Amino acid sequence: MNAQHPTRSKWPRRDVLAASAVLLAGGAVGSINRSAGATGEAAPRPAATPLPWPWTTLDPLEAGRRAYRFYKDKGGCGTGSFLSILSLLKEEVGHPWTTLPDMMMAHAASGFGGHGTLCGALAGASTIINMVTFGEERDKILQNNQIVDRLFWWYAEQEFPTDRFDDISPIPDQIRVKAMSPLCHTSVSKWALAAGANINTAEKIERCAKVVGEVAYTVTLALNEFFKGEWVAPAWKPSEEISHCVMCHGPSTATKKAPRWNQQGHMECLMCHRDHTT
C-alpha cells in the first residue's frame, strides 16, 4: 500500500487558533463543573431578604405626584402606586429595595390585565404595605392585614378624583363620584357613567391618574404614622343601608355577633345583591 499524505486543512490559521481557544475555555469550564459535582458543592446564591423590609419617613405629596406621573408614563395604576413608593425607598433606604424590578406590578393595570377586578392602585400600594409590616402584631392583630383592609375600606368611601393634584393636571375640577367598592369595574364604571366619558378618553385617564396619586399619598402618610406609633386603625362600621345584612350574615362587629357568618369581607352588599328582607 502506498502511504497517504494528510489532507491540507481548508481552515485559515487564525480560525484554527480561535477554535482552539474556545475548546480550551470549554475544557476549563467543564473541569470546574466536574470539580463542583465531585465535591457536591454549588456556587453560593445570595439569600432572599426576609420580610419585613425597612421603612423610612417619606414625603406623601412627592409619592402622590410620582404616582400621578407614573400612571401616565409607565403604563397603569399598578405600576403607578407601586413604583412611586418603591422609587422613594430605593433613594432613601437603598438595599434591599434596590433588588426589586420597577415593573413588578405592571400586570395589575386596569384591574389586573384589564379584567376590572381589584384596582391596581390598591394592589401596588398593598404590596408595599405587606413588605414593611409583615409579621407586625398589635393587640393580637396582624397589622399588614389590618392596614390593607382599612385602605380598601377608605378607597370605597372616597369620592374620586380629589383635587390634590389639580395644580399639575390639564383637566382640573373633574366630577367626583364615590367609588363604593375596591373593584376597578365598579370604581371606574360609576365615574364614567356619571361623567359621560368613555374609558379611553383623556378625562378618564386623568381621573385614574389622580386616583393613583391619592392612593400613594394616603398609604405613604399612613405608613409614616404607623412607624411613629401614631396610626390607629379606624373601626369598621357597616353603612346604614347594609347594617341589617351584616347583623345576620357577618362579619361580627364590636357590638353585634353575626348568627350566620357566611360572607367574606367589608364591601357594600347591595352593590351586587338585592335586599331579600324587603
Q: For residue 138, what are the β-bridge partners?
A: 141
Cβ proximity of 160 and 214 under 8 Å: yes
Angle subtended at Cα 217 by Cα 238 and Cα 77, rounded to the nearest 5 degrees: 85
pLDDT at 141 over 90: no
Res. 65: pLDDT tops 90:
yes
* Average pLDDT over every residue of 196-224: 97
pTM greater than 0.85: no
pLDDT tens, 68-115?
A: 999 999 989 999 999 999 999 999 999 999 999 999 999 999 999 999
Contacts of 51 (CB under 8 A, 6+ apart): 130, 131, 134, 135
Using one digit for the tens of pLDDT, what is the confidence trace for 155-199?
Answer: 999 999 999 999 999 999 999 999 999 999 999 999 999 999 999
